[in-house]
A and B are shown apart, each in its own frame.
Chain A
């Protein structure tokens, strides 16, 4: 329940209580008969009290509406200020890594003079660490936008298979380097109403994990199918798996299982949290099955229709 709704209910409840109380007093005023001689006078007094009761309740409702409007406006202003703060903070946070990015790119291009092999290695390390920082900033900004509810959702007719193909393509170098066997089954399926950027972010996160946490020469398979109301996506790997005792924490913000830290110390623990939150937000479901040492299968569903459009300060950033 929002603060606005709570305030409105509070004032509304107060008005109803007052109304009942006044009616009770009104009924109790039969006692007036003891002091007033004519029944006609009692009726007049009761009539006047009823008018006062209606007036008081009207004023209470009026105040409730007025206060709700003021609070609503203040909340809206606060939301705008928070959004503006994140926008400006993102600008400030991203500027220093941009300088490091440009400088290392310039040095590596050799245009500032040829680097020795050792110098090149160091500059590559700087560029790599800088890219990690950019990725962390992007993920944290996404989390902040999600928690403030300031990101936009823009559903359109989406071909999930086309997005999947494109995302799998992004990981081709890593897949090749680890000699993973990847199969993607995406039969000719109808388009769904969804925000393509959000679908891409979720797929990027799940496929990145499958690639990262599957040992060399392992297997990955991705399957998409559609029912009358939903699209189902399944991403299976023969990776390290998630230890049973931490499986209930896997969608928690910044949580990383020990075996994940061991195999990839650079992860942020935000990818699954973001993916899961997006899916929940747009009316889908995400779940998984995993056995340590054998592999994991992540599933998510998306409503084929009904992803609601939402205006927002910004879109979530892609990897």
Chain B
């Protein structure tokens, strides 16, 4: 069974994404901000990460940079799922090796799940 950490501060979205990916056969861990997310990733070693950008305590971009500096997180595939769409953030996240940058309103749950599975070759 593949595993995923979903980091999203909007609880309803976190629940919907988590339920969808659980139904698709993933072991899902949830985090409400970057700080919790980093801790979760370090302890659970997921196969992939779904990451929001604007979050309290630690935002997604800061978390991504910290993750990439660590031995345990530098190679984990990350998909950004955010409603923030400015070029600077997209370019910055690509520089830190994210697999894709998805705008939430443009992607259905089904399409997000397909994207995650596609990256893992499922």
Min distance, Cβ A165 to any Cβ of chain B, angstroms: 22
Q: Which residues of A contact B82 (CB under 8 A)?
A: 91
**Interface assignment of B10: CB less than 8 Å from any CB of chain A:** yes
Q: Separation in Å of the B6 CB from the closest CB of chain A?
A: 13
Q: Are A102 and B105 interface neighbours, CB within 8 A?
A: no
Instruction: Return the contact of B109 from the options A83, A106, A314, A317 (Cβ within 8 A).
Output: A106
Interface SS, B side: helix
Known: A101-B108, A102-B16. A94 touches B86 (CB 8 A): no
- Contact: B84 with A152, CB < 8 Å? no
Q: Which of A270-319 contact B (CB under 8 A)?
A: 312-315, 317
Q: Most A CB atoms within 10 A — which of B23, B105, B108?
A: B105
B85 at the interface (CB under 8 A from A): yes
Cβ–Cβ contact A111 & B23, under 8 A: yes
Q: Are A314 and B105 closer than 8 Å at their CB atoms?
A: no
When the two chains form the complex, which single residue of A94, A103, A105 contacts B83, counting CB atoms closer than 8 Å? A94
A98 & B105 in contact (Cβ 8 Å cutoff):
yes
Q: In the complex, which residue of chain B has the Cβ closest to the Cβ of A154?
A: B87
Chain B nearest CB: distance from A221 CB in Å?
31
Question: Given A102-B109, A105-B109, A314 and B87 touching (CB < 8 A)?
Answer: yes
Contact of B13 among A99, A137, A315 (CB under 8 A): A99
B54 at the interface (CB under 8 A from A): yes
A91-B54, A94-B104, A97-B105 known; A102 vs B87 contact (CB < 8 Å):
no
B12 touches A87 (CB 8 A): no
Q: State A315–B87 Cα separation when bound (angstroms).
A: 7
Count of A residues near B, CB < 8 Å?
26
Is there contact, CB below 8 Å, between A90 and B16? no
- What is the interface of chain A mostly: helix, strand, loop, or mixed? helix
- CB-defined interface of B77-98 with A at 8 Å, one 1/0 digit per residue? 0000011111111000000000
| Contacting residues, chain B, for A98 (C-beta < 8 A) | 13, 83, 104-105
Contact B105 A94 (CB under 8 A): yes
Q: Does A95 contact B (CB under 8 A)?
A: yes
Q: Is A134 an interface residue (CB 8 A)?
A: yes
Give Cα distance in the complex from A134 to B83, angstroms. 11
1/0 contact trace for B1-29 toward A, CB 8 Å? 00000000010110011011001000000
Say if the beta carbon of B110 comes within 8 Å of chain A: yes
Q: Write out, one digit per residue, whether chain A residues 45-69 have a CB within 8 A of any chain B CB (1) or not (0).
A: 0000000000000000000000000
Tell me the nearest residue of chain A to B87, going by C-beta: A314
CB pair B13 A87 closer than 8 Å: no
A residues in contact with B110, CB < 8 Å = 105, 109
A87–chain B nearest beta-carbon distance, Å: 4
Lowest 10 A-B CB distances belong to which pairs? A94-B83, A102-B16, A314-B86, A98-B104, A87-B86, A91-B83, A94-B105, A91-B84, A134-B105, A314-B87
Beyond contacts A90-B84, A102-B17: 6 other A-B pairs, Cβ-Cβ < 8 A, are: A83-B86, A90-B85, A94-B103, A95-B83, A99-B10, A313-B86
Q: Chain B residues in contact with chain A, CB under 8 A?
A: 10, 12-13, 16-17, 19-20, 23, 54, 82-89, 103-105, 108-110
Q: Would you mind naming 26 contact pairs between A and B with Cβ atoms under 8 Å apart? A: A87-B86, A90-B83, A90-B85, A91-B82, A91-B83, A91-B84, A95-B10, A98-B105, A99-B10, A99-B16, A101-B105, A101-B108, A102-B12, A102-B13, A102-B108, A103-B16, A106-B20, A109-B110, A111-B23, A134-B105, A137-B105, A312-B87, A314-B85, A314-B86, A314-B87, A317-B85
